[in-house]
A and B are shown apart, each in its own frame.
Chain A
Amino acid sequence: MAEPTPPTPPSTPAPTEAAPRHSDDSRMSRFQARGARRFRARDALISVGLTVIILVVLVGPSIRKAGEQMNPGVGRSVILLVGRPAAAIADSLGLTHITHDATAWLSPDQSLSGYPGFATPVAAIGGQAPPVTSDAFDPTTLGLPAPPRRPLTRLLVTGDSLSEPLDQYLAQKLAGKVDVIQDPHIGTAISNTFIVDWAQLAESQVAQDHPQAVVVFIGANEGFPMAGPGGVQVSCCSTEWAALYASRARRMMDTYRQQGAARVYWITVPAVREAAKQKIVRAVDAAVEVAAQPWADQVRIIDSVPVFTPGDVYRDAMPLNGTETIVRESDGIHLNDAGSDYLAGIVDGVLQRDWTLGG
């Protein structure tokens, strides 16, 4: 190890014009002043290298997993290039499980083990393709009187980043009347189960929160290939992909509706700015419409497309209360505060048609 040696402070040219003069408030020489021990650059490389080796040995599979859950691109390829051998090394040494067991208690994630995921077929968990039942008809569409409104006291608002800040605005509007559970899961997707499996998550949310109504706004991160019949990967955005997506969404709707005891309010995704993403959004919205068909009485589709992007044409701003107002975030996907507030008002209105708020 190198002996400590005094550092060379960065030289500062003398001021020549009207520059403000102050004492050295940058404290650039603080490491020298406090006598921080200096080592060789080789020591830096060895220590960082050692850090990397220990991380590969202990958590190698996490690197691979991080790569697998990324969208295709250079970043994903690079991380998988490192992650796959790292995971292989870690798996062969067998320390990963010990590390996981030793640190699992630190995780803030709720455990979803015990709940069936998308990989578990519906038939295997005792379900079957539903026959057409009266649930498929909203009585009002048949000219029949609407059933009496029940009191709503517990509402779950969930989804991916789209559901934030919608959840906050909805909670603000319903404060004091309804207990609003805000449960956004940023970066997640129905078509990608790496971060979270929404089939499991929906089951767990229902088991824990017992919501009478669920507002779902998801679809910002979709487009991942999904395993179709026979395990074949189906890429977005074919009719096969839309069918797989609809199946997954329908599974979630069925969970949230709790055999007819609860109502689901599923919001479609308004058109997005980027053409490539819009292709995915169109498939997602079409799939959601199809998915809800068996339970039109309990699963309401709140179509945000005609509200924010009539004709499926993206726009940043729209008239709100007579004033042209920006309603989208600069990413061209999410709603901003004004847009989320407006959408929350629409959802609030739909809720009030079905429920008496606050019991």
Chain B
Amino acid sequence: MIFPSIAFAIFFPIVLFLSWTLMPRPARWKPFILLASYVFYAAADPRFCLLLAGATLFNQLAAFVLARVKPPRQRKAIVSVAVAGDLLLLGVFKYYSFFAQQVDDVLNRLHLGLPLPLVTIALPVGISFFTFQAISYTVDVYRGVVKPASLMDFAIYLSFFPHLVAGPIVRAREFLPQLASPRDPEHVAVSAGLGLIGLGLVKKVVIADYLARAIADRVFAVPQAYGAPDVILAAYAYAAQIYCDFSGYTDMAIGLALLLGFEFPQNFDRPYRSLGFREFWRRWHMTLSRFLRDFLYIPLGGNRGGEWFRARNLMLTMLLGGLWHGAAWNFVLWGAFMGGGLVAEHFLIDHTRLHPPAWLRWIITFNLIVFGWVLFRSTSLSLIGTYLSRLTHWTAPTLWSVPVVVAVVGTVGLQLLPSGEMRTVRDRFDRVNPILMGAGLAILIVLVGATVSSQGVPPFIYFRF
């Protein structure tokens, strides 16, 4: 079930009504919201619910044992087993086919037998997100950042439907305290929530899907059919598309949670205004960046041990971060590119006295990020080569159009506006009478719905991850 769908438009009002009706009685509300979340998840494939339930029980057991074991070595062993179990789950479902194929290829080249069984395994929706949340919970219990929650609270934390399938990756310390007492029914950010849902819809359905249809999907499918002007515009269009697609989903997720009385961490903060790679990763998919920093980069040693160790840790973190996005070499290459960018930035800051003006840093950063998206979007390494080779073929543009250029420039340009201007607009929406917002949202849904093709709303890009 995706947010911009008729099934969800029926599901959510019912859940919202029952949720607030039952909220004063947590003993009833908690089983209800857990059931609602599992129903939401079962819409994709009911069998995946078993996997989610299994991950819940496994990590809760680990947290339960961690809370009772004192010797550090035993605690470390327990948390290691728990994290390994989570990674195994992710590895089997997400990476098995990819790695089996690679190992098989290598063994074949060496004329060795023992090929691994080559089978495809269905990728459960949202597995990358809920396993990361499970890891964060178990590790935070180990670190003493959070106390073990009740099984019910932990199950709700892991499965809460607004964040279940594509984040944001909410940390246990951010969510579990919100389950400690019923949400205050006199204190709901209704207009902010409705505004975010509307904004997310426009970003996803109107901008992202349009750019995909009009240019990005076409060019990235067959780059050899297009000349440099189209290939260049397609890269910028994809940069706008993926931002609107993913941040649109996040806006809707945060807005839905707000209506239910819950708050999620911020996931995007105008990433295309960044003046460097470090800043980009503080603004793009912020909850993943925090996760990678706290559970990978810092445990690897972080900034400690000198610049070579830092460079190694950055590269490892970004390589694995790239691989998290999917089992394919282009994601590994994208991770390496991002890691290389971070390392180079650190080097320039530490060893040179270059202080380029902000506008120049923005141009360099933005264009490098867009180049990174070319690696990310291309479905194979050979296609990346083809794509880049087309940059030397100057032919007349065929896919340039006013709406495409406006969508790209608008998406990027709005992020460059001064913070104050954007805040003023947002604050005004936050204060609008919710009845007006509800009516406005309905009109918006009708208009946005009219732009959807008969084949429906394409899945969010991050659903695949």
Contact = CB atoms under 8 A, between A and B. Distances in A.
Interface residues of A, number: 91
A106 to B, nearest CB: 4
A46 B187 CA distance: 15
Nearest to A67: B6
Contacts of B287: 26
Contacts of B142: 17
A101 to B, nearest CB: 11
A182 interface: yes
Nearest to B295: A20
Interface string B160-174: 000000000001011
A113 interface: no
B430 A34 contact: yes
B454 A46 contact: no
B189 A37 contact: yes
B177 A43 contact: no
Given A2-B186, A107-B450, A330-B120, A37 B430 contact: yes
B259 A11 contact: no
17 contacts: A10-B175, A20-B294, A27-B266, A30-B266, A34-B423, A34-B427, A37-B191, A43-B435, A44-B16, A47-B438, A47-B441, A54-B446, A106-B447, A106-B450, A107-B450, A316-B118, A324-B115
The 6 A-B pairs with the shortest beta carbon distances in the complex, nearest first, are A47-B438, A16-B144, A54-B442, A103-B450, A317-B118, A26-B265
B222 A180 contact: yes
Interface string B88-119: 00000000010011001100100000010011
A337 interface: yes
A328 B380 CA distance: 17
Interface in A304-322: 316-317, 322
Given A59-B449, A187-B456, A10 B178 contact: yes
B190 A172 contact: no
Interface stretch (A75-83, A141-149, A286-294, A349-357): A75-83
B348 to A, nearest CB: 24
A58 B442 contact: yes
B405 interface: no
Central interface residue in B7, B442, B445, B451, by most chain A CB within 10 Å: B442
A53 B446 CA distance: 12
Contacts of A139: none
Contacts of B438: 46-51
Given A49-B13, A175-B222, A28 B451 contact: no
Interface in A1-17: 1-2, 5, 7-8, 10-13, 15-17
Contacts of A66: 6-7
Contact of B188 (A12, A38, A188): A38
B364 to A, nearest CB: 25
Contacts of B86: none
A47 B434 contact: yes
B53 interface: no
B221 A165 contact: yes
Central interface residue in A36, A75, A195, A317, by most chain B CB within 10 Å: A36
B35 interface: no
B435 A46 contact: yes
Nearest to B254: A31
A99 interface: yes
Interface string A40-70: 1111111111111111001100110011000
A188 B13 CA distance: 29
Interface class of chain B by DSSP: helix
B31 to A, nearest CB: 20
Contacts, number: 263
Interface in B290-317: 290, 293-294, 298
A51 B439 contact: yes
Interface residues of B, number: 101
A38 B174 contact: no
B453 interface: yes
B383 to A, nearest CB: 8
A332 B17 CA distance: 39
Contact of B171 (A26, A35, A336): A26
A175 B224 CA distance: 6
A117 B188 CA distance: 51
Nearest to B19: A41
Contacts of B259: 44, 48
A196 interface: yes
Central interface residue in A19, A58, A195, by most chain B CB within 10 Å: A19
A168 interface: yes
Interface in B118-161: 118-123, 140, 142-147
A34 B424 CA distance: 10
Given A2-B186, A31-B263, A330 B97 contact: yes
Nearest to A331: B122
B213 interface: yes
Interface in B258-292: 258-259, 261, 263-266, 269, 282, 286-287, 290
A51 B445 contact: yes
Nearest to B184: A8
Nearest to A317: B118
A19 B140 contact: yes
Given A55-B445, A58-B442, A79-B10, A108 B213 contact: yes
A98 B63 CA distance: 58
Contacts of A185: 455
A209 interface: no
B379 interface: yes
Contacts of A31: 189, 192, 258, 263, 430
Nearest to B97: A326
Nearest to B179: A10
Given A37-B191, A103-B450, A329 B120 contact: yes
Given A39-B190, A317-B118, A324-B115, A187 B434 contact: no
A59 B145 contact: no
Contacts of A47: 190, 194, 434-435, 437-438, 441
B221 A36 contact: no
A104 interface: yes
B51 to A, nearest CB: 14
Contact of A13 (B147, B191, B222, B225): B147
Contacts of B122: 330-331
Nearest to B105: A323
B23 interface: yes
B392 interface: no
Interface string B39-54: 0000100000000000
A120 interface: no
B12 interface: yes
A44 B20 contact: yes
Contact of A75 (B7, B192, B266): B7
Contacts of B108: 322-324
Nearest to B328: A337
Given A82-B10, A108-B453, A109-B453, 14 more contacts: A10-B174, A16-B144, A17-B144, A19-B143, A19-B145, A26-B171, A31-B430, A42-B185, A58-B442, A103-B446, A108-B452, A186-B455, A317-B118, A337-B379
Contact of B446 (A22, A55, A329): A55
Interface string A71-89: 0000100110011000000
Given A41-B20, A58-B446, A168 B221 contact: yes
